Structure 1
Amino acid sequence: MAEKLRIGTVGLGLMGSSIATCILAAGHQVTSLVKDIIEAPSARQRIYNFLVELEKEELLSETSQTVIERLTITDLVQDLAEHEVVIESIIESVEEKKKVYQALESVISPAAIIGSNTSAIPVSVLQQGLKNPERLLGIHWAEPAHITRFMEVICGKDTNIIYAEKIIALAESWGKEPSLLRKDIRGFITNRIMYAMLREAFNLVENGYATVEDVDRSLRNDLGYWITFAGPFRFMDLTGIPAYLTVMQDLFPELSNTSSAPLMMEKLVAGGAKGVSNAKGFYLYTSETAAQWEKLFTEFSYDIRKLAEKYPQNIGEELNRTAH
């Protein structure tokens, strides 16, 4: 087996730990940079727990104990010097992210790839002021990163496509099914589409058409029924294109296009709601039921991964490349 690249990561919060787990599970040596080395024991234990889960699900080719031994946690940026790819996963702050990139540029090769796990900041903004902006990419993961197959690789204004293609190939070796955004746009693919959906969901609830429960129930049993099998364009192919044009012509003028955040959401956040993490959200929770929902979500993530892997997404892929 060919020697695997050494991969660096920056940040070992929940998402950063999940990213490190994914890369470790794919057979890489991983060096993770943290702000304070006091974080290391708890982060290592969190990653080990994730690996144990993967092992139980038969998604590891080695034991979790063997895999965790490939992880090095450090607070010294120079320890990332010989790494060919470094993935940053810290808070969504342009200023803080740029501090990380400047530190990385002082030690890594000019050809090493820097990936930012950003979900909203335009990559072109993050590239500004870098010595080698062409090697900075957005690498957008979904939670939990070590289970889901989702990944978006985003090119900024100055990105060299060669680096994006390298990350796409790497991501596939990590068990991902990555998408490539050739042009930078705020929110990328899934967030833009999800927030358009959320805007309409709030519109229906705040104007008395349906309850939170009714909206969730409808989407779970319609959109949730087919979306793992096919994206929206494939689904229109499968179910007949002309009918969708008729509905679009009638419905688009009536959809919400407000640019304001929902008042209902603002009130929830002002009241301290964070969701199941603090047992306060759109639904009523006790600490016990919140923990149960978190556990069920993890179990579901493994189940839906297995279901998605059962159905291929690349039939006729060569035809698609020539057609477009």
Structure 2
Amino acid sequence: MISHTRIGTVGLGLMGSSIATCILAAGHEVTSLIKDMSTAGEARERIRGFLTQLRGEGLLTDAPETILDRLTITDDVTRLAGIEVVIESIIEHVDEKKSVYQRLETVLSPTAIIGSNTSAIPVTILQQGLTHPERVLGIHWAEPAHITRFMEIICGNDSDEQYAYKMAAIAESWGKEPSVLRKDIRGFITNRIMYAMLREAFHLVENGYATIEDVDRSLRNDLGYWITFAGPFRFMDLTGIPAYLTVMKDLFPDLSNARETPAMMEKLVAAGAKGVQNAQGFYPYSTESAAHWEEQFIAFSYDIRKLARKYSSDAIEPQS
């Protein structure tokens, strides 16, 4: 059974730990390759905390300690020998990622899937120079990976689609609702659409049409109300297709098509802003309020997961 197979991961930073938590919670044994064993204790405690959250939400029956017994952390790549799926989650750097894949190819079978948790690097670039590029896929997760149902599985030019659909089946057993991109494109689905939205949001603020607060408020109370229930195409079905064509003809020529990054963003980053991570962002934060926003985001993520499952396609579509 899928749930009892051994899964490998590479990297146990914040995102890597969240990914490992998701896989452990689904019932797998997990072997995690890291660069520096001095960070292993910190990573294990982070995963313990994530598992404790899941248990508190009623999403786990086993105790966190029992689940942690299925986790092996190592700096020895040979410990991944025999594993059929390895998920890499290290820094977004092409050479670093390709170096990891070259090491993995020395111990994995030719049919073992190598998945890269990349947000924007074209998978085709990551495949170059590998002995078996056909089994390399992009595996794009959303944060927090152990809570959200999102996943994009991306084929590069050299990918064999059978591996993508095998990965999708495994991901569904993890509680994910994966999408498969059959062709490689920079940014994939959600990032391309989100960054188009961000470009327009900056355009409105920087040109004085609305404040940051107004833009956030409008999107929360419109897009935020329907996007979990229906994607854009389903929403057009629900609300009447012809009107959208009329608006498109009028609005598309007027939308921002800026190619340069927003000056407002450049200035903020130059000043050292990292958001709630260092209590410095688009909004003012104290240390306490930043921590509170992080806590509320996790709580909301659990709540929206429950709501999404209640109104999932499986729950809505009539049974034939």
Trace 1:88-167 onto structure 2 (pairs within 5 A).
Answer: 88-167=88-167
Partner of 2:126, secondary structure, is helix
**Is the Cα contact below 8 Å between 2:2 and 2:173 reproduced in 1?**
no
Give the 4+ runs in structure 1 shifted more than 4 A.
314-319
| In 2, Cα distance between equivalents of 1:149 and 1:245 | 31
Partner of 2:181 in structure 1?
A: 181
Aligned AA for 2:54?
Answer: L
Q: CA deviation at 1:316?
A: 5.5
Partners of 2:318 and 2:135 in 1: how far apart?
28
CA distances 1:248-275 after superposition (whole Å, capped 9, x unpaired): 0000000000100000000000000000
Partner of 1:256: 256
Match of 2:191, as an amino acid? N
> 1:3: Cα distance to partner?
6.3
Alignment root-mean-square deviation, CA: 1.3
Aligned to 2:23: 23
Change (3 A) 1:274 1:243: same
Q: Deviations over 1:283-313 (max 9, x none)?
A: 0000000000000000000000000000122
Secondary structure of 2:83's partner?
Answer: coil
AA aligned opposite 2:220: R
CA-CA distance at 1:2 after TM superposition: 6.8
Cα deviation digits, residues 143-178 of structure 1 (max 9, x gap): 000000000000000001111011000000000000
Deviation at 1:61, TM superposition (A): 2.9
- Per the normalisation by structure 2, the TM-score is 0.98
2:227 maps to 227
Q: Which secondary structure does the structure 2 equivalent of 1:118 belong to?
A: coil
TM-score (norm 1): 0.97
Q: 1:274 to 1:81 in 2, by over 3 A?
A: same
Which residue of 2 is the match for residue 211 of structure 1?
A: 211
Amino acid at match of 1:239: T
CA distance in 2 between partners of 1:61 and 1:155 (Å): 35
Residues in 1 aligned to 2:318 and 2:211: alpha-carbon distance in whole angstroms: 41
Aligned equivalent of 1:285: 285
Deviations, residues 24-59 of structure 1 (Å, cap 9, x unaligned): 000000000000000100000000100000001011
Pairing 1:234-245 to 2, within 5 Å after superposition: 234-245=234-245
**Uncovered stretches (5+) of structure 1, i.e. residues with no partner:** 320-324
Q: Which residue in the other structure is 1:53 paired with?
A: 53
Taking the aligned partners of 1:312 and 1:203, their CA distance within structure 2 comes to: 34
Which amino acid letter does the alignment assign opposite residue 159 of structure 2?
T
Say if 2:3 and 2:173, in contact at 8 Å, map to a contact too: no
**Equivalent residues of 2:33, 2:76 under 8 A apart:** yes
Deviations 1:171-195 (A, max 9, x none): 0000000000000000000000000
Mapped to 2, the partners of 1:67 and 1:316 lie a distance apart of 35
CA, structure 1 residues 3+93, in 2 after alignment: closer, same or farther (shift >3 Å)? closer
Cα deviations by residue, 1:215-241 (Å, 9 ceiling, x for unpaired)? 000000000000000000000000000
Identical counterparts, % of pairs: 74
Report the Cα offset of residue 7 of structure 1. Answer: 0.2
Q: Which residue of 2 aligns with 1:168?
A: 168
> What is the deviation of 1:245?
0.4
> Structure 1 residues 317, 94: CA separation in 2 closer, same or farther (over 3 Å shift)?
farther
Alpha carbons of 1:15 and 1:2: their partners in 2 closer, same or farther (altered >3 Å)? Answer: closer
Match of 1:311 in 2: 311
Q: Counterpart of 2:177 in 1: which secondary structure?
A: coil
Please list, as runs of the form range in 1=range in 2, the aligned pairs for 1:190-205 lying within 5 A after superposition.
190-205=190-205
Is 1:32 the equivalent of 2:59?
Answer: no
Q: Which residue of 2 aligns with 1:322?
A: none
Give the distance between the partners of 1:111 and 1:318, measured in 2 at CA: 36
CA, structure 1 residues 259+115, in 2 after alignment: closer, same or farther (shift >3 Å)? same
Q: Counterparts of 1:131 and 1:316 in 2: how far apart (Å)?
A: 43
